[in-house]
């Protein structure tokens, strides 16, 4: 079978296969931070058309980023036991076409928001794509993934304010960067041995399991401080504070899970706990903003 062919034993509808191919469920990581940044930047809910264009930009940008990642890592994923069936979900030609459409949708959405968003759209596409190339030359690819997701709250802030001069979105974006950097270090431990054998660069492959998990703890400690500072700058009180405290508990639980080292625990720590973190902070923000009205 050619590398671009879809496995004949895959019986799922195409949209389900495509969703698995780009890990659509992982949109839950960045999207809540874009929405909470939007709420704070707009000092409440912006007009519904603006919300719609922001959502289009978020979904299309993440889809473009994941498709670029799949195309860049096509052969690597095929050789990795953990990801060896990924390329059979969607033909390579369709992944290329999907990337073009996703980028076009992102630029369209940005053009409907304001001039700043349109001007920064190519920069955003470059940032979210660059991560996929990093494992070829640096052990800090995880840092660039954090940077890619940090684009989300910055973009949402620009969408509703038309500027990026306030320090508030930068605090949130830096918190997102550290949070993602930390949890991607944990997830990368699953590929540590493969990366070493394949000659790929990753933090776990270079520094080992123990130092990787310690680094993740440190990054998440910085992240929760930055999330708290963001809430203080936004003028939040008990709703956000309670959500923030619950996030701290969730991250502690994540690191307890990650120490087990088995794939099931790491996957649970990676997806479930971090989805809880982003949704809790969004809920806390929404309640605070709702109390302003």
pLDDT score for 11: 66
> Which pairs with CB-CB distance under 8 Å and at least 24 residues apart come from 174-177?
174/150, 174/226, 175/222, 175/223, 175/224, 175/226, 175/227, 175/229, 175/230, 176/30, 176/33, 176/146, 176/149, 176/150, 176/152, 176/223, 177/143, 177/146, 177/147, 177/149, 177/150
Q: How far apart are CA 28 and CA 40, in angstroms?
A: 19
Mean pLDDT, each 10-residue run in order, the chain (293 residues): 45 85 88 97 92 97 96 92 86 95 98 98 96 94 96 98 97 98 94 93 94 96 98 97 97 90 79 92 97 79
pLDDT score for 1: 36
Q: Using CA atoms of 234, 238, 241, 242 in order, give the dihedral in degrees to the nearest 10.
A: -150
Alpha carbon distances (Å) from 218 to 68, 79, 105, 255: 30, 32, 37, 11
| Domains of the chain and CATH, by start | 14-292 (1.10.357.140)
Q: Using CA atoms of 217, 223, 229, 235 in order, give the dihedral in degrees to the nearest 10.
A: -120
Task: Give the residue from 23, 149, 167, 5 showing the smallest Cα distance to 82.
Answer: 23
Q: 126-143: string of b/e by CB count within 10 Å (b at 16+)?
A: ebbbbbbebbeeebbbbb
pLDDT score for 162: 97
Q: How far apart are CA 180 and CA 257, in angstroms?
A: 17
């Amino acid at each position: 079978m050619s590398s671009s062919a879809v496995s004949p034993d895959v019986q799922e509808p195409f949209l389900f296969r495509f969703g698995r191919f780009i890990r659509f469920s992982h949109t839950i990581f960045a999207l809540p931070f874009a929405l909470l940044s939007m709420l704070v930047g707009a000092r409440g809910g912006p007009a519904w058309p603006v919300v719609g264009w922001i959502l289009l930009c978020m979904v299309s940008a993440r889809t473009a980023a994941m498709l670029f990642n799949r195309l860049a890592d096509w052969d690597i994923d095929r050789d990795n036991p953990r990801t060896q069936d990924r390329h059979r979900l969607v033909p390579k030609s369709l992944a290329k076409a999907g990337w073009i459409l996703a980028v076009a949708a992102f630029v369209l959405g940005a053009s409907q928001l304001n001039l700043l968003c349109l001007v920064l759209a190519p920069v955003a596409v470059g940032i979210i794509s660059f991560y996929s190339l990093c494992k070829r030359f640096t052990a800090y690819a995880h840092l660039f993934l954090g940077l890619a997701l940090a684009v989300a709250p910055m973009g949402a802030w620009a969408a509703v304010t038309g500027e990026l001069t306030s320090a508030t979105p930068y605090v949130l974006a830096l918190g997102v960067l550290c949070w993602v950097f930390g949890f991607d270090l944990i997830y990368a431990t699953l590929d540590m041995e493969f990366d070493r054998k394949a000659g790929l660069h990753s933090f776990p492959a270079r520094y080992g399991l123990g130092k990787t998990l310690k680094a993740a703890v440190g990054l998440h400690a910085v992240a929760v401080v930055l999330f708290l500072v963001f809430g203080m700058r936004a003028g939040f009180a008990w709703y956000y504070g309670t959500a923030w405290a619950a996030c701290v508990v969730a991250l502690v639980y994540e690191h307890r899970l990650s120490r087990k080292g088995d794939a099931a625990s790491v996957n649970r720590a990676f997806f479930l706990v971090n989805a809880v973190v982003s949704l809790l902070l969004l809920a806390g923000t929404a309640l605070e903003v709702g109390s302003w009205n």
